Amino acid sequence: MKKNITLSISIILLLFSCKKEDLSYLHKYPGLPDATQSGENTMGCLINGVPWVANIENPDFFSGLRNLQADYGEYSKNQSLLDRYYLTIVCKKRAEKNEKYINGYRVLEQFYFGLRPINSKGLFYAGSGDVRTIEYIKSNENEEKKRYVLDTLSPIKLEITKFDTLHNIISGLFDFKLKRISNFSDTLMITNGRFDANYWEY
């Protein structure tokens, strides 16, 4: 009897530990938010190996600005699937002025994701009729604005890891390459990307 009880406890502990290990894909990386799936409204990635995190300094001052804004919905319910299930995510990073930049604010950076159709979790593959717009913009009052777009000739990984229409949560992981519109030789490698959004419905 004791052996059976001991065996049962061991099995339960083993199953519990395995369950914890199954969550290992919610990976951590120094300087980035964890890859959560609970609608934390976070986004981060590495840009050429350097951590980048969506963050609005002093959000109370910048009225209406959010670290992350996600919207999802069915634009045209009477249309084909290619015109439905549209997801947009805007992630911003804005820093206040410092002693170096007296006039105005130091820097504004923004990622924009426009994806369609999104109607389930899993790897996102976009064909010629689908929408897969990913952009990164960096502006500075003392420098020329730089705009980068998705390099569709390079490997692209975009995985929706959670899609919860009951609680309006969508989470994902991504890796891709961006190229500057005005100079294709100026490229950015985006790796270890993760977002966890509590989206608004259209």
DSSP 35: -
The average pLDDT across 170-192 equals 95
What is the spatial distance between Cα 105 and Cα 94, in angstroms, rounded to a whole number?
A: 8
Closest to 160 (Cα-Cα) out of 109, 102, 115 = 115
Angstrom distance (rounded) from CA 48 to CA 60: 31
The per-residue pLDDT for range 117-169, each reduced to its tens digit, is 888 899 987 665 677 899 999 987 667 789 999 998 999 999 999 999 999 99
Q: Tens of pLDDT along 62-74?
A: 445 678 999 998 6
DSSP notation for 149-188: EE-TTS--EEEEEEEETTTTEEEEEEEEEEEETTEEEEEE
Phi-psi region of 64 (alpha: psi -120 to 50; beta: other; left: phi over 0): left
Q: Per-residue pLDDT tens for 85-128?
A: 889 999 998 766 554 554 555 668 899 999 988 888 999 876 65
pLDDT tens digits, one per residue of 30-46: 999 999 999 999 999 99
Domain ranges of the chain: 27-201
Residue 11 CA: distances (Å) to CA of 1, 21, 183:
15, 15, 59
pLDDT at 125: 77
199 DSSP 8-state letter: P
- Looking at residue 164, what is its pLDDT? 94
Residue 170 near residue 113, CB atoms below 8 Å: no
Cα–Cα distance for residue pair 145/139, rounded to 1 Å: 4
**pLDDT at res. 18:** 45
In sequence order, the 6+-apart residues with CB closer than 8 A to the CB of 182 are 146, 147
At residue 148, the pLDDT reads: 97
